[in-house]
Chains A and B, each alone.
Chain A
Amino acid sequence: QQQVKQSPQSLIVQKGGISIINCAYENTAFDYFPWYQQFPGKGPALLIAIRPDVSEKKEGRFTISFNKSAKQFSLHIMDSQPGDSATYFCAAPFSGGYNKLIFGAGTRLAVHP
């Protein structure tokens, strides 16, 4: 069964620091790797995604780095802010299409002022 392994489980970062969350996948039917952000009481929302025809994608303070040979991808949050405090999930598609996702277990990020 396909799995996505995410680490760390929790992360505490000071305001202005860099938050790094890692994900490893075993197999995936499609090359598409999104990160979702979830605030308490809300559903997950797409934060940023990459298709591995590139090794890196940047959107504002958020960057995905992808290593296809190692089957790993990571999320970097530069200049972390208290408003970034949330749970982050990496995901990968399994058989049947880009809109069927298997999620990692999540990383709870706390950014302290």
Chain B
Amino acid sequence: ETGVTQSPTHLIKTRGQQVTLRCSSQSGHNTVSWYQQALGQGPQFIFQYYREEENGRGNFPPRFSGLQFPNYSSELNVNALELDDSALYLCASSLPANSGANVLTFGAGSRLTVL
């Protein structure tokens, strides 16, 4: 059973650029959530994808967008990068909320630095 894999592991961008982060969900999981974890803070919910559609969104601006593909993998796109976007971006896969199984399986994250 493979876990959640994320790429790239590290990247550096400059302010105003765009970035795409990728996530492959754990085998059998069809729901993907993205979280932003600033240094020394807890993860903050960005959004969730289920059946290739956004299924809930946290307090993040529209320049944060995502996609989910038929194989349940997902992308997080961030446009017009700002310095405050520097963080660890975590992908978590899970079964649907109505499955009764509540465990989020996290990847190791993509660390984004915006200069």
Contact = CB atoms under 8 A, between A and B. Distances in A.
Interface residues of B, number: 29
Contacts of A36: 104, 106
B45 A101 contact: yes
Contact of B102 (A34, A44, A89): A34
Interface string A1-45: 100101000000000000000000000000010101000011111
A104 B42 contact: yes
B55 A96 contact: yes
B54 to A, nearest CB: 11
**A interface: dominant SS:** loop
Contacts of A99: 31, 33, 48, 94-97, 102, 104
B98 interface: yes
B16 interface: no
A100 B33 contact: yes
